């Protein structure tokens, strides 16, 4: 049994804890939080046997095999470094840190210590996303050309909340945009060029943003994130052979569909009847040809799962520990660092 220590017990930590019942080899051994009352309530709800009153006490616990960090974004770097320096393997909530330099610092520490470290980018671990990655790598869509994805829903306007407070690394990009960026990096690689616009609110955080990315093969991605309204929360990936739509919500998907297409042939070739050669019908055929030639056939995929969907990242972390891996091949540290570099580039454009 792999024994986990939880640092932080907010809403996400509660959702993650609920899914431990779905992973047979994992158990929550201990918890610590900024407020001891919160840690005790968490312990009572989930039957966690040990409550620590500080980070240091949690990290000194010899019965903890791995630490899950679920603290606010701006604390991730310091908490990851503390855990790794204490000799604890680490699973850190997204975003891994707030910038690429901090991410590199944590990654270097993990590698120096020879310890497992992974970003809890839960989207990567869902069966649907793993199936999509396998299909696209096998050329099911042909050469990938285009990705569009957006993530947004209305957020209660509290200037002191982690969403709107700059001191807590608030903003749509780190909270929601990171999902689309990670998906783009996973499927298309690291971009060679980025263009972006953002709307900053009264507190100074980016309340919504749009990004256009170009990749070395010429593929483009159009990504959006907002704290202010409900978007489609879907993703569409287009290749030379067809397109794939990840149905709402793309960041924790159960369903996706593929439509296959062939290049439209020029309309009006050949002879045919006098009616078929009528100028009006020829013009109509010419207009409809792309539509008629597209959507030749399609396939729908469903990967349903119980719980909240966090069991897949928990299981992957347990597998890596059991097999002695220091990184997950599903969510390697190089991918985490690449996404943080993308975030740095996006914000640098906003500053100018």
Residue of 94, 133, 282, 283 marked catalytic? 94
The predicted-structure confidence for 243-292, as pLDDT tens digits, reads as follows 999 999 999 999 999 999 765 444 444 444 555 566 776 676 667 655 54
Quick one: pLDDT at residue 274?
58
Q: Give the pLDDT band of residue 298 (cuts 50, 70, 90).
A: confident
The predicted-structure confidence for 3-12, as pLDDT tens digits, reads as follows 999 999 999 9
Q: How far is CA 191 from the centre of its chain?
A: 16
Cross-strand pairs, 51? 31
Q: Of the CATH numbers 3.10.300.10, 3.40.50.720, 3.40.50.300, 2.40.50.100, which one belongs to the domain with range 2-122+310-336? A: 3.40.50.720
What architecture is the 127-261+296-304 domain classified under in CATH?
2-Layer Sandwich (3.30)
The structural domains of the chain, with segments of one domain joined by +, span 2-122+310-336, 127-261+296-304
pTM: predicted TM-score of the whole model, two decimal places:
0.90
Quick one: pLDDT at residue 294?
47
Q: What is the mean pLDDT of residues 178-200?
A: 99
Q: Give the pLDDT band of residue 351 (cuts 50, 70, 90).
A: confident
Is 94 a residue of the active site? yes
Q: How far is CA 41 from the centre of its chain?
A: 29
Taking 50 as the threshold, does the pLDDT of residue 122 lie above it?
yes
Q: What is the mean pLDDT of residues 45-74?
A: 98
CA distances from 214 to 2, 18, 138, 189, 314 (A): 42, 39, 22, 10, 33
Taking 70 as the threshold, does the pLDDT of residue 27 lie above it?
yes
Taking 70 as the threshold, does the pLDDT of residue 320 lie above it?
yes
Tell me the C-alpha distance between 267 and 122, whole Å. Answer: 47
How does DSSP classify residue 329? S
Q: What is the mean pLDDT of residues 310-331?
A: 99
Is 38 or 277 the better-scoring residue by pLDDT?
Answer: 38
3-state class of 255 per DSSP? strand
Quick one: pLDDT at residue 37?
97
Average pLDDT, the chain: 94
Quick one: pLDDT at residue 267?
42
Q: Which residues contact 11 (CB under 8 A, 6 or more apart)?
A: none
The secondary structure element, H or E, covering residue 291 is helix 279-293
Taking 70 as the threshold, does the pLDDT of residue 139 lie above it?
yes
DSSP readout, 7-56? E--SHHHHHHHHGGGG-TTEEEEEEE-SSHHHHHHHHHHHT-SEE-SSHH
The predicted-structure confidence for 208-249, as pLDDT tens digits, reads as follows 999 999 999 999 999 999 999 999 999 999 999 999 999 999
The predicted-structure confidence for 91-110, as pLDDT tens digits, reads as follows 999 999 999 999 999 999 99
């Amino acid at each position: 049994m792999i024994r986990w220590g939880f640092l932080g017990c907010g809403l996400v930590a509660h959702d993650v804890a609920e899914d431990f019942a779905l992973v047979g080899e994992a158990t929550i051994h201990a918890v610590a939080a900024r407020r001891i009352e919160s840690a005790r309530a968490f312990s009572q709800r989930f039957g966690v046997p040990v409550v620590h009153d500080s980070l240091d006490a949690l990290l000194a616990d010899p019965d903890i095999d791995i630490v899950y960090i679920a603290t606010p974004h701006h604390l991730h770097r310091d908490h990851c470094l503390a855990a790794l320096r204490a000799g604890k393997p680490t699973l850190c909530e997204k975003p891994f840190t707030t910038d690429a330099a901090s991410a590199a610092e944590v990654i270097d520490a993990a590698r120096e210590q020879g310890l497992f470290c992974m970003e809890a980018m839960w989207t990567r671990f869902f069966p649907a996303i793993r199936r999509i990655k396998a299909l696209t790598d096998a050329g099911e869509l042909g050469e990938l050309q285009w990705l569009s994805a957006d993530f947004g829903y209305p957020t209660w306007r509290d200037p002191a909340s982690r969403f709107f407070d700059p001191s807590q690394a608030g903003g749509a990009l780190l909270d929601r945009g990171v999902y689309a960026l990670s998906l783009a990096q996973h499927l298309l690689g690291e971009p060679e060029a980025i263009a972006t616009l953002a709307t900053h609110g009264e507190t100074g955080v980016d309340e919504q943003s749009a990004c256009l990315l170009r990749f070395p093969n010429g593929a483009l991605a159009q990504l959006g994130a907002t704290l202010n309204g409900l978007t489609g929360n879907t993703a569409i990936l287009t290749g030379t052979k067809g397109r794939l739509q990840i149905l709402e919500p793309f960041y924790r998907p159960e369903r996706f569909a593929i439509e296959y297409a062939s290049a439209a042939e020029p309309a009006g070739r050949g002879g045919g009847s006098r009616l078929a050669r009528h100028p009006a019908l020829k013009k109509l055929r010419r207009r409809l040809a792309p539509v008629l030639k597209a959507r030749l056939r399609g396939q729908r995929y469903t990967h349903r799962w119980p719980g909240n969907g966090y069991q897949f990242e928990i299981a992957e972390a347990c597998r890596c520990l059991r097999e002695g891996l220091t990184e997950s091949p599903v969510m390697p540290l190089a991918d985490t660092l690449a996404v943080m570099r993308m975030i740095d580039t996006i914000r640098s454009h906003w500053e100018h």
